[in-house]
Amino acid sequence: MKTSVTQENLAKAVSAVSRMVSNRSALPVLSNILIATESGRLKLSATNLEVGINYWIGAKVEEEGSITVPARLFQEFITSLSDGNIDLATDGDSLVVEAPQVKSSINGIGAEEFPLIPQLKTEPVLQLTADELKDALAQVVVAASSDEARPVLTGVYIYNEGNKLILVSTDSYRLAEKKITLKKKPTTDINLIVPARTIQELVRLLGDSEAGLSLFVSDNQIMFEIDGVELTSRLIDGQFPDYRQIIPKGSETVIEAATDEVSRVTKLASLFARENAGSIRLDVKAEGRMDVVANPSQVGENTSSTNCQVEGENSEISLNARYLSDALGVIKNDNLTIILNGKLNPCVIHPADDKPDYLHIIMPLRT
């Protein structure tokens, strides 16, 4: 291999790709990233066997070739170089890197040991923009489970109903559902579960991009493609539970309040709730006030109030403070709606909107 790239492009690609590298892999080559010339461009790849990434950048290719090099060293090294051109060349199992006033040789592993990251060479199932998918995924993945005992709950369930794309996660204590209206129906119906870790990496990768994003699906894999980057992930086997039954229909008490105010009082109460396993109580007064209460514990007690609009009767509910602040953290609207149906039924939180496209449901704590 003999090729030349700009430091800026290479640094961006290496930073994105090296995130997928597992630091604790038993297979040394999985700590490396693959660098390969391909059709006049340079391809960087990494995989942890669950999710893999291929990242193409423009390059002047003089000699085709490929090699793998340690991800961490290569990333730190490339991002520490100044702007300018970087020459890359293989020398046996080493990669020789030359930049102005810098010459390095990095010991690598032959590219033939690197696992293949499949490219799903089908038609895209659907297309949308990076920013709309990113925000939606971030709002949903927060509710996914980290308990491997029920694998289907450790992912984001993605399906469609006509031109509605619906994203759902739940860890059985809380549930988040987001609906996106697509310009065009998917070419085939979608019904799959993507690992939460893949989704978290995808959210980071999408960054602030507003580019178009295509989604490709095979039997057991999904691929997201955007601007010369492909993220390929295994899917989670199994049937996502029929979650619609737990979305409460009633609306005995409906609160509308400023999102940052509710965040502030939740934060205060949560400090005092640590000894009580995070349990805090929302105490809603029909006259227009919500108290957030941390009950007396070893450390003390706290009550903080916020003004709000209340429709319906006085109500109260005990919630896990962390679940509530996770939900508040992903609601970007200035105002939010909280719906209570007594202290034994789940609480619904959504952006203040007559037809919200996002619902966050939290199960009550029995106290």
Q: Applying CB under 8 A, which residues contact a second copy?
A: 70, 73, 76-77, 80-82, 94, 101-107, 264-265, 267-268, 271-272, 296, 298-306
Q: Smallest distance from the beta carbon of 312 to a second copy, in angstroms?
A: 22
Q: Give the Cα separation of 196 and 144 in Å (integer).
A: 7
**For a second copy, the closer CB: 78 or 213:** 78
Write down the residue that tokens 């597992």 correspond to.
Answer: 22
Concatenating the DSSP letter of every residue in 107-125 gives E-B-GGGSPP-----S--S
Q: Smallest distance from the beta carbon of 142 to a second copy, in angstroms?
A: 21
Q: Smallest distance from the beta carbon of 77 to a second copy, in angstroms?
A: 5
**For a second copy, the closer CB: 18 or 154:** 18
Give the torsion sign (CA, 66, 71, 77, 82). positive
Q: Smallest distance from the beta carbon of 82 to a second copy, in angstroms?
A: 7
Q: Give the Cα separation of 135 and 210 in Å (integer).
A: 11
Concatenating the DSSP letter of every residue in 48-83 gives -SSEEEEEEEE-EEEE--EEEEEHHHHHHHHHHSPS
Q: Smallest distance from the beta carbon of 160 to a second copy, in angstroms?
A: 42
**For a second copy, the closer CB: 94 or 129:** 94
Q: Smallest distance from the beta carbon of 95 to a second copy, in angstroms?
A: 8
**For a second copy, the closer CB: 107 or 314:** 107
3-state DSSP assignment of residue 47: strand
DSSP state of 13: H
Whether the Cβ atoms of residue 18 and residue 75 lie closer than 8 Å to each other? yes
Whether the Cβ atoms of residue 124 and residue 216 lie closer than 8 Å to each other? yes
Q: Smallest distance from the beta carbon of 304 to a second copy, in angstroms?
A: 5
**For a second copy, the closer CB: 306 or 320:** 306
- Of 197, 208, 85, 218, which Cα lies nearest the Cα of 141? 197
Q: Give the Cα separation of 30 and 28 in Å (integer).
A: 5
Dmax over Cα atoms in the chain, in whole Å?
A: 77
Length of the chain: 367
**32's torsion region: left (phi>0), alpha (psi -120 to 50) or beta?**
beta
**For a second copy, the closer CB: 51 or 257:** 257
**For a second copy, the closer CB: 119 or 297:** 297
**For a second copy, the closer CB: 133 or 262:** 262
Q: Smallest distance from the beta carbon of 91 to a second copy, in angstroms?
A: 11
Helical packing angle, 321-330 and 259-273, nearest 10°: 150
- For 257, half-sphere exposure in the C-beta direction (CA atoms, 13 angstrom radius) is 28
DSSP state of 236: P
**For a second copy, the closer CB: 41 or 264:** 264
Q: Smallest distance from the beta carbon of 30 to a second copy, in angstroms?
A: 17
Q: Give the Cα separation of 185 and 117 in Å (integer).
A: 28
Distance of CA 306 to the CA centre of its chain: 31
**For a second copy, the closer CB: 130 or 308:** 308
Q: What angle is formed at CA 294 by the lines to CA 292 and CA 299, rounded to 5 degrees? A: 150
Q: Smallest distance from the beta carbon of 352 to a second copy, in angstroms?
A: 21
